[in-house]
Chains A and B, each alone.
Chain A
Amino acid sequence: MSLSRRELLRRAESGAAPGAMRRIRALFESPHKMSEKLEPVRTSADATLHLWRTRLITSGLPLLSLNGIRLLVRKLQTLPPDTALEQYGLTGPTFAGNVYFHSSTGEFLGDTIVKHHAKSREMLELDARISHPSRKTA
């Protein structure tokens, strides 16, 4: 079911903790786009749990900025693995991430919203090689 940002915010408000609401509002930082429709991605609790449990380990971001992911993982661990989820994702100028709801009940399950970070000099150099590839090295 596609949702406007305003509808998504309303659904999240019924179950999200204050910290999650702050992140979602920060993601929706362009008020004039509030009526824009977002299309959900269908996924399962099991697949989503494994992905984000791993990303908690692999992410180089400071632990505090992974609060949403930590809470999402904790919530997903309580659900049957085949529980169907709806994921709504958005990339804003300052923040980006996904918001997850239970497909059947509409319950807010969590978010993976984080602030964009500056890439390291090494990664910027590698990105530049992709933009201007030579035969020797991408």
Chain B
Amino acid sequence: MQQSQLVVYRGVHAQHPALAAARRGIVTPGDMDGTVTPAEHNRGDVSADSPYTSWTFDRSIAESHADEYGPGGVILMLTFSAPEPGDKWSWEGSPDLFDEDEVLLRGYRTGATVEEI
């Protein structure tokens, strides 16, 4: 990952249902066809039904979420770049109600850089 590129981070905690996929650099939302909106996702407690995953520009925030259940979580990293034609994912803005520098990823992605914490 080049240093000059803007990077976004996601913390996946040790009890997360998508942890095994995350360890392989795969990003999977709770429900690809879910109808949860960005505002509902950001308010919290609806991840299982959401087509979004939460990302942040602040690595320390991702670290805290990865550490939510103690050791065993991972940090995922992606460059903040636009999708190529045909890609099935997109970035979407978050209301960021809790001021966590949040951005939302809609859809499924592979190729995230993985870091154990």
Q: Which residues of A contact B (CB under 8 A)?
A: 41, 43, 47-48, 50-55, 57-61, 87, 89, 91, 96-98, 112, 114, 116-117, 119, 123, 126-127, 129-131, 133-138
Q: What is the total number of residues of chain B having a CB less than 8 Å from a CB of chain A?
A: 35
Q: B44's contact among A52, A60, A134, A136, by CB below 8 Å, is which?
A: A52
Q: Are B64 and A57 in contact (CB under 8 A)?
A: yes
- A53 to B69 alpha-carbon distance, docked (Å): 11
Cβ–Cβ contact A54 & B98, under 8 A: no
Is B101 in contact with A138, judged by CB distance below 8 angstroms?
A: no
Instruction: Give bound CA distance, A130 to B39, whole Å.
Output: 16
Asked if B108 lies at the interface with its beta carbon under 8 angstroms from chain A, I say no
Interface residue from B49, B57, B65, B82 paired with A54 (Cβ < 8 Å): B65
Report whether B99 and A98 are in contact in the complex, using a CB–CB cutoff of 8 Å.
no
Identify the stretch in B19-27, B89-97, B109-117 within 8 Å (CB) of chain A at 4 or more residues: B89-97
**Distance between Cα atoms of A58 and B102 in the complex (Å):** 11
11 pairs, A vs B, C-beta closer than 8 Å: A51-B44, A51-B68, A58-B64, A60-B101, A87-B45, A89-B43, A97-B43, A98-B45, A112-B44, A116-B97, A137-B5
- Residues of chain B contacted by A58 (CB below 8 angstroms): 60-61, 64-65, 98, 100
Q: How far is the CB of B68 from chain A (nearest CB, A)?
A: 5
Inside 8 A of A50's CB, which chain B residues have their CB?
A: 13, 15, 68-69
Q: Which residue of B lies closest to A96 (CB)?
A: B97
Contact across chains for B82 and A135 when beta carbons are under 8 A apart: yes
Kindly provide the distance from the CB of A98 to the nearest chain B CB, expressed in whole angstroms.
Answer: 6
Asked whether B6 is an interface residue with its Cβ less than 8 Å from the other chain, the reply is: yes
Distance of A112 Cα from B98 Cα, bound (Å):
10
- Set of chain A residues within 8 Å of B46, measured between Cβ atoms: 41, 89
Q: How far is the CB of B102 from chain A (nearest CB, A)?
A: 9
Task: Tell me which residues across on chain B come within 8 A of A119, comparing CB atoms.
Answer: 96
Pair B44/A54 contact, Cβ less than 8 Å: no
CB distance from B95 to the nearest CB of A (A): 7
A51 neighbours in B (Cβ, 8 Å): 44-45, 68
B40, CB-defined interface residue at 8 Å: yes
